[in-house]
Amino acid sequence: AQSVTQLGSHVSVSEGALVLLRCNYSSSVPPYLFWYVQYPNQGLQLLLKYTSAATLVKGINGFEAEFKKSETSFHLTKPSAHMSDAAEYFCAVSEDGETSGSRLTFGEGTQLTVNP
């Protein structure tokens, strides 16, 4: 069974500081990994996805994530936080598409606060 753990339900950074949101996964097969962002009263927006093509994945809004198989991690980073980055972030995993289809298993979410 697949699972995702996000370390830290709340992360607070200063504007301009590095953003680091942690995600560890458990999967019995090579996973597909995703980071989504959710702003208040909105649905989820895809930031980036790992599909085994490259271990360092660049996404929208300056975010990137690195897939590390040895550490079963897929941490999300952004060099310089902006006030508009304040939102909730979800890491998700999808396994073998032939059996699980498009089913996503989500982590608990990390609420990012950006202080001026």
Partner 1 sequence: KAGVTQTPRYLIKTRGQQVTLSCSPISGHRSVSWYQQTPGQGLQFLFEYFSETQRNKGNFPGRFSGRQFSNSRSEMNVSTLELGDSALYLCASSLKSSYNEQFFGPGTRLTVL
The answer to whether residue 106 forms part of the interface with partner 1 (CB under 8 A) is yes
If the CB atoms of residues 17 and 111 are measured against partner 1, the closer one turns out to be: 111
The distance of closest approach from Cβ of residue 17 to partner 1 in the complex, given in angstroms and rounded to an integer, is 27
Cα–Cα distances in angstroms (integers) from residue 77 to residues 2, 82, 102, in the given order = 23, 13, 25
Q: Measure the CA–CA gap between 104 and 97, rounded to whole angstroms.
A: 10
Q: Measure the CA–CA gap between 16 and 37, rounded to whole angstroms.
A: 19
Of the candidates 4, 9, 97, the residue with the CA atom closest to the CA atom of residue 51: 97
Show the binding pattern over residues 17-56: x = contacts partner 1 (CB under 8 A), - = does not: ---------------x-x-x----xxxxxx--x-x-----
Contact criterion met (CB below 8 Å) for 52 and 30: yes
If the CB atoms of residues 19 and 48 are measured against partner 1, the closer one turns out to be: 48
Residue 34, beta-bridge partner list: 49, 92
The distance of closest approach from Cβ of residue 115 to partner 1 in the complex, given in angstroms and rounded to an integer, is 24
- Give the interface segment with partner 1, choosing from 18-26, 59-67, 78-86, 88-96 (CB under 8 A): 88-96
Interface residues with partner 1 (CB under 8 A) are: 32, 34, 36, 41-46, 49, 51, 90, 92, 94, 97-98, 100-109
